[in-house]
């Protein structure tokens, strides 16, 4: 029997907000500072999704891994100052989120962004009270597909995993849903291709935010 969800956990980067240009800009600033080659936004999109440490590792390449901590520190500092320069909500996201709230669907954000950056961005685009929980990475721990953050949300809401959908644009989001026993919804407008999401085992793939409303009808 198909259970109508009571709550939705959203990924942030590439799902709710297009942050690619600002993330790429901050990383390229740091790479250039240490004399390393930079990357296009499109290339950076392929590197984003598994936390900032992995982003830095991928951006540096094998021969420059000794610079990872320095590059990561410079990237984080730059991103804090420049994270709203180019980032924008995907078309239709704001309206869909508000309609979900009107339908009394409970909402949370689960991201591999650092916790402080995640909170700032969510508050900037949605206000402070739209999502019950914003769960990011603290001290390098809890990076998806680790399900610690997912279970924190589930338990805090007092619901069962079967009551949720997990919506995201990345393979890591699909794997997180699978690991937590939560139905996963892959979105095609983000940083990964639909084919990758399907191969990862997404239960549903959608092409527009408005399709989310049909999943809670």
pLDDT tens string 82-92: 999 999 999 99
Residues 7-18+88-214, CATH architecture: 3-Layer(aba) Sandwich (3.40)
Q: pTM score > 0.85 for this model?
A: yes
What is the Cα 209 distance to its own chain's centre?
15
The ranges of the chain annotated as CATH 1.10.150 are 20-82
Nearest Cα residue to 207 out of 180, 199, 197, 150: 197
State how far the Cα of 3 lies from the Cα of 183, in Å rounded to an integer. Answer: 10
State how far the Cα of 179 lies from the Cα of 146, in Å rounded to an integer. Answer: 8
Assigned CATH for 20-82 = 1.10.150
pLDDT tens string 137-150: 998 778 999 999 99
Residue 1 in this model has a pLDDT that exceeds 70: no
pLDDT tens string 32-54: 999 999 999 999 999 999 999 99
State how far the Cα of 12 lies from the Cα of 118, in Å rounded to an integer. Answer: 8
The ranges of the chain annotated as CATH 3.40.50.1000 are 7-18+88-214
Q: How many residues does the chain have?
A: 217
């Amino acid at each position: 029997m198909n259970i109508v969800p009571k709550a939705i956990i959203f990924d942030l980067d590439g799902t709710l907000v297009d942050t690619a240009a600002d993330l790429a800009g901050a990383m390229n600033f740091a790479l250039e500072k240490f004399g390393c080659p930079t990357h296009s936004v499109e290339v950076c999109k392929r590197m984003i999704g598994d936390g900032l440490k992995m982003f830095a590792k991928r951006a540096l390449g094998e021969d420059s891994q000794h610079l990872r901590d320095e590059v990561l520190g410079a990237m984080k500092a730059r991103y804090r100052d420049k994270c709203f320069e180019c980032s924008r909500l995907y078309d239709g996201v704001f309206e869909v989120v508000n309609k979900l709230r009107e339908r009394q669907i409970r909402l949370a954000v689960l991201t591999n962004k650092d916790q402080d950056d995640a909170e700032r961005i969510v508050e900037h685009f949605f206000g402070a009270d739209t999502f019950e929980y914003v769960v990011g990475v603290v001290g390098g721990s809890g990076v998806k597909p680790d399900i610690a953050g997912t279970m924190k949300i589930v338990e805090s809401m007092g619901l069962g995993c079967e009551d949720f959908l997990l919506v995201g644009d990345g393979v890591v989001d699909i794997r997180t849903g699978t690991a937590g026993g939560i139905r996963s919804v892959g979105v095609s407008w983000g940083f990964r291709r639909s084919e990758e999401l399907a191969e990862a085992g997404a239960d549903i793939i959608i092409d527009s935010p408005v399709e989310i409303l049909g999943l809670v009808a």
